[in-house]
Structure 1
Amino acid sequence: MNRFAALVNVTLALTLMVIALGAYTRLTDAGLGCPDWPGCYGKLTAPLHDGHIAEAQTKFPDAQIEPHKAHNEMLHRYIAGLLGLCVLAIAIVSLWLKKFRLLSGIILLLVIVQAALGMWTVTLNLLPLVVLAHLLGGFALFTLLALLRVELAWKIKVMNTDSIGLDIKKYREPGLNSLLPLGYLTVLVLVLQIALGGWTSSNYAAAVCYQLPVCEAGWNDRFSLQSAFSLPLGHDTYEYGVLPYEARMSIHVLHRMGAVVTLLLLGSFAFLCWRRAVTKTIRVIAASIGGLLLLQLTLGLINIVAQLPLLNAVAHNLVAANLLMLTVVFVRQIYLRRIVREPLSEIKSVQKNHFVIDR
């Protein structure tokens, strides 16, 4: 079990690295640094020397070869490939242990879908809908792996405890039961806000508004909800965006409005949980969510004021991934503590019937 936990830890770190590299690749306009997939100009490595560049130009005469972008893209693919192997190893070990098979299978399926989305991102020339799905898939993978790791830690704790009934009171959180519906709503709103952020980025709308609090003067006259969610189809390439200014501005404004709603809802949820919590673990997680939320707000404001600095924009993606992961894990913890009861027989029933990923 401890070695399995170490494997999940490594996979979590790789997933976060892939998310960071994906954001870096997208923000450096390197998504089409390699026009083919899974290789790069017909090879498994990006062109480096003049001879390699000339050979690539011969094979792809219409391509504008930019080696630095190709290297960014291929590094992303290499780490993503290693991540896929680690997820496969998790699935195999889960089958061997006969534990966590359901969630491990879902994670493996998600990685396969992610590989397909990565291919379509290139072959469909950065179609915004595919780019958005690829981003959400990466966030979902990180969140599911974190859920697996947390419940694996619980499993190890149960196995190493002689009588869990003696310690059960420290796991109970009766004051949080009524907050579960709010928690589910918060997760939904957070996912929608992240999707809005991905839609903003994939349509190159992040660099449209540089004034606070909403956008440049006259934005309300140009705002169009319909144009914000129009699907730009039928273009040869979507690199650098194809939507008109009004549509991009509307997308950006919606993302800012969503940020306010998310800040108020998630902040209120975290504060209420922190205030009602009995156990130290729940209070620490609630405080961590509040800290990440404030950090994300700060990074978003810096993106606006400093006109989208690269490292800050990458950090904005990473904090969003961690915020979603921690919020989902937090809501899961509240749910598990809601169903906890004192008798040892019921604790075993909880372990059997509610830890569905252990099946």
Structure 2
Amino acid sequence: MKVFNIASIPGDGVGKEVVPAAQRVLKAVSDVHGGISFHFTEFPYSCEYYLEHGQMMPDDGLVKLKDFDSIFLGAVGNSKLVPDHVSLWGLLIKIRREFEQVINIRPAKFLQGIKSPLASPKDFDLLVVRENSEGEYSTVGGRIYRNEEEIAIQNAVFSRKGAERAMRFAFEMAAKRKKHVTSATKSNGIIHSMPFWDEVFELTAKDYPDIAADSQHIDALASFFVTKPETFDIIVASNLFGDILTDIGAAIMGSIGIAPAANINVNGKFPSMFEPVHGSAPDIIGKGIANPVGQIWTAKMMLDHFGEEELGSKLLDVIEDVLKSGILTPDIGGTSTTEEVTDEIIKRLKAL
């Protein structure tokens, strides 16, 4: 039997509600499969931890996490307690950077049972591959002067290695899907980094002659996500552009509460991290109505990462079947609780 050791970080807010729910689902998956099991070790790193210790995780926090097979994260942030830039850079982004999780993957799919805000949604199924280590989110820059003379400088950093790595990852994924990669660019307005990005994309595409490749400016691409999302397969994007596009992807699905994400380490030195896109949702903490689908779909992505793609596909089918039957949390138009949705997914998994 294969045993996967998972570092569980429920984090803040509803993360503490949906992570246990998703762990119950993974337990059901292992019961159905019989050949795999999951061992979870929970870590209390969160804004509450910060208030007690003055940091989001201990000095040896990364050392404690580095030997796990993966990290299963719930939500980070409570701006009433800790400024967002402190909580994110002290935990989520720190793990991403230090563990070289250079690729971020976020799917968007039309799910039966969920009402999309699109007037006439078609059967879209797309995946954004986001460069996750540099680009517009670099830490290069600073501020000088004060008052009306103050200047803030933020430098975007693009390396050939980082851009090409994300692009090759996108092409490899497209080879398993609909064989189409779209690059998000803005070379008509950003004079240095985006023409560089385009050149690397064109060169990389030549190594994948069987995969269709095109580039689209980010403003048009964002509008096409709304008007014709069914035309896309894999989209590869820089850190900022990928961040924006994936939130649009979550919106056209019908709720950010169902959107999953994966932060992938590609060199095998450190664990990858899996997290839903939604935040800590402080307005519904403790009400028992947090949508567990985002975290459970995130578990599906973790199964894929472990090579259990068939199991992952079955889990997503069960999720969609439950949604289609009208068992929905309030954020997507239903009246079911977190526990009721989770229980039904587990029930149908065990009936396979």
Structure whose residues are more often strand by fraction: 2
Q: Please indicate the TM-score interval, normalised by the length of the shorter structure.
A: under 0.3
- Using the size of structure 2 for normalisation, the TM-score is 0.26
> Larger radius of gyration, structure 1 or 2?
1
